[in-house]
Structure 1
Amino acid sequence: MAADPVRDPRPNPRATAEEVRAAYSDPKLANVLYHDWEADTYDEKWSISYDERCITYATDRFRAVAGDAGPYGHALELGCGTGFFLLNLMQGGVIERGSVTDLSPGMVEVALRNAAGLDLPVDGRVADAERIPYDDDTFDLVVGHAVLHHIPDVPAAMREVLRVLKPGGRFVFAGDPTSIGDFYARKLGRLTWWLTTNVTRLGPLNGWRRPQAELDESSRAAALEAVVDLHTFDPSDLERTARAAGATEVRAVTEELSAALFGWPVRTFEAAVPRGKLGFGWAMFAYRTWQRLSWVDENVLAKLLPREVFYNVSVTGRKRAG
C-alpha cells in the first residue's frame, strides 16, 4: 500500500540553504532533510541489495540477537530507510507481512517501491518513532536497523515499541554504533577521506578523483550526517533503557571489530572516487574480506575481548505476555 498522500508529506530531496541551517538546531528536521537527500542513492551508497547476500546478512543478524528466525506474522520497521532490514527478513522467511515507518518521506517512498518490486505485502507511513501511529497490541515484531542512534528520545521510542507490540511480542534493533566503535570508525573514515581526496589531486591519479561538485555535495551531506547521528551506545546502558521501558528477556550483543576496521575505510574510499570506477572485482574483494573478518570477530575475538570494543550493538526484548 502506498504512503497516504493526504497525511504524509512529500519527499524534499533538494533542501534550501535556509532549511539546512535550521536543521543544525533541529535533529528531526536534519534527519528528514538528510535522508530525503540520500533516499534515491542510499542503496548504492551502502551496497544494499535484496538478493541472497543481504538476505543472509539480515537473517544472520536477526538470529544472532533474537535466537530464533520466526516466522512472525506482522512486523513493523522503525526508521525503515529503503527497507533493507524488513524486506530482506521477509524474503528470508522471518516475517510474513510488514509495515514501514520513517521520518523521511523519501525513504518511505523508496522502501515501498522496493517492496512492490519484490512483490512483498508491505504498507507504510511517514512517522516519528517517538509517536508511532498504530494502535496498542498491533504487531508481533518490531525491528530496526541503524535507527536508534538517530532518535532524540530513545526511552520514549522504546515505550512506544512496547505499546504497539502484542503481549509476548519481540523487538530487535540491530546495527547501532557502540561508543568505542564509533570513535575509531569516524577517525578512520575522516583519515581515509582526507587521503583519498588529496592523493587523487595528483596528475597521474586525477582520473580517480570524483568531480568537485559531487565531492562538495558529499561533504555537505557528511556535515549534515554529523547532526543526525545523535547517540552512541554502551551495550549495558542500552539493556537498562529497554528494561526501564518495561521490556523483559532483554539482551544486547555486539559484532564487528576487525571487519569494521576494514569496512569503514573501504566505504569511505568508495564514496570518494567516481561511481563505477572500482568495478565488480573490487566489490567482491571488499565483500569477501569483510565476510572473513566478520568470521574472525565472531569466532575468535568475541571470545577474547569485551563486547564494548566491537562496532555494532544489537538489542532484543519482549513485551510482557500478561
Structure 2
Amino acid sequence: MRLESRVAIVTGAGGGLGRAHARLLARYGAKVVVNDMDQAAAARVAGEIVAAGGEAIPVAASVTDEAAVATMIGGVMSNWGRVDILINNAGILRDKTFAKMSLTDFRLVLDVHLMGAVICTKAVWEIMRQQQYGRVVMTTSSSGLYGNFGQSNYGAAKLALVGLMQTLGLEGEKHNIRVNCLAPTAATQMTHGVLAEEALQCLDPKLVSPGLLALVAEQAPNRAILCAGAGHFARANITLTKGVQVGGDADAGEQVIAQWEQIGDRTDELVPAYGFKQAERELAAAGYVAPTMAER
C-alpha cells in the first residue's frame, strides 16, 4: 500500500503515538502535517521525517483553538492543495476518582479529546466532501469502551468519539469519507505512572501504528473500532441482543427483572447498521413494521 498522493494531518504528533503515526504515514509516502502544542516537538518530528526522505511540515496549534486550527488547514491547502487523512490523536489525562474530580478537570478532558476532534474534523470536512475523498480516525480507548477506575472524564470523552464516528461515518459515506476509531494501548507520556515499567516496555507506540494503515487505506472500512497494542489487533463492536418483548402490562417492570438473563442473552446478537435499527426492531416486536432507513 502506498500513500504518495495523500496529505495527512496528525494531531498531538510531537511524541508518543502521534509521532509513531506521523512517521509511519510518511514512510508510506504521505505528506504529513505534524501538529502539536509544542513547536519544538513538532519541528523535531517533522525533521525526522524529512531526514528519512519524506515530506512534513510542523504546525504548533491547540486543537481546541478554532482560529488556530483554521489557520493550520489554510496553510495545508496553500502548500499541498488537499487534505486526505486526519488522525485525531491529541489528548490529555486528568485522572481522579469521580468523587475527587473537579468539574474543571472533567470539562478540560472533554474539551481536548472530544471538542478538539470535532473542531479539527469540522475544519477538513467540507474539503473532503468537495474532493470526494477522506479518511478520518478518532482515537478512542478501552477506558471509554469498557470503563477504567479513576477515568470518568477520559472514558466519557473517548466513548463520545465512538458516537461521533458512527454518525460521521454514515453522513460521509456517499462522499467517500470513511471514519473509524483506533483504541490504542501504548507506552506514552499519558500512560507512565499508570502501567508497570516492564509492561510499558512491551507497549512501544510503533506496535500500534501499523493498524492505522488499515483505517486510512483506499479500501478502508467505515465505522470500525480497531483495538491495538503490543502488536496485537482486535475489533470491538457495540452490539444489540435479540431481547424479549414484554409489552406494556402493569407488571412490565417485574417482567424485565424476571427475564433479565434472557434479555441479556448474546445468542444471535447483532451490530446495528444505524441507530434507528433498535427502534425498527422494537416496533416490529410490538406488531408495527416501520419503514427502514433505506425506505424513508
TM-score for the superposition, normalised by structure 2:
0.44
TM-score computed with the length of structure 1 as normaliser: 0.41
Which structure is higher in helix share? 1
